[in-house]
Amino acid sequence: MQRNTVQKRLVIDTLRSMANHPSAEMVYEAVHKENPTISKATVYRILKEEASCGELLGIDVMNDVNRYDHRLDPHWHIRCRKCGKVGDVEMLGGVGVNDYAYPDVWTPERISVSFEGLCPECSKEK
């Protein structure tokens, strides 16, 4: 049965306080400031674990490392192709798994939508 450790609480609370869709590395750095003895492997382990049990959200941005999100409600992400910043994208219609045609008899379970583009700052520069 799952145990309640200081490391686990710190990683989860830290992620919840970050609004910038951090990578595991970024969470590690933030956590490390609070508690310099916590190891990188532990941070990776906790993030992966908690994402798979739904305690937090692991997100999937094109051509990038895995990132994590404090928001748990349905929404997608856009990544700036210049600076790599990630922003939230809201779903307007309810486009889902049934709006596509699958090969043969595959069973679709999960859909992921991601975007690439330019963030406000990088659009300004020409």
Partner DNA sequence: CTCGTTGCAAATTATTTGCAACGGT
Partner DNA sequence: ACCGTTGCAAATAATTTGCAACGAG
Q: How far apart are CA 44 and CA 36, in angstroms?
A: 15
CA 76 to chain centre: 10
CB of 56 within 8 A of CB of 10?
no
One symbol per residue from 8 to 37: x for binding DNA (CB under 7 A), - otherwise; what is it?
x--------------xxx-----------x
Backbone angles phi, psi at 121, to 5 degrees: -65, -45
Question: Helix crossing, 6-17 with 40-52: angle to 10°?
Answer: 70
* 38 contributes a contact to DNA by CB under 7 A: yes
By C-beta, is 7 or 66 nearer to its own copies? 66
By C-beta, is 3 or 110 nearer to DNA? 3
Task: Tell me which residues in 71-90 interact with its own copies (CB under 8 A).
Answer: 76, 78, 80-81, 87-90
* 125 contributes a contact to its own copies by CB under 8 A: no
Task: Tell me which residues in 67-106 interact with DNA (CB under 7 A).
Answer: none
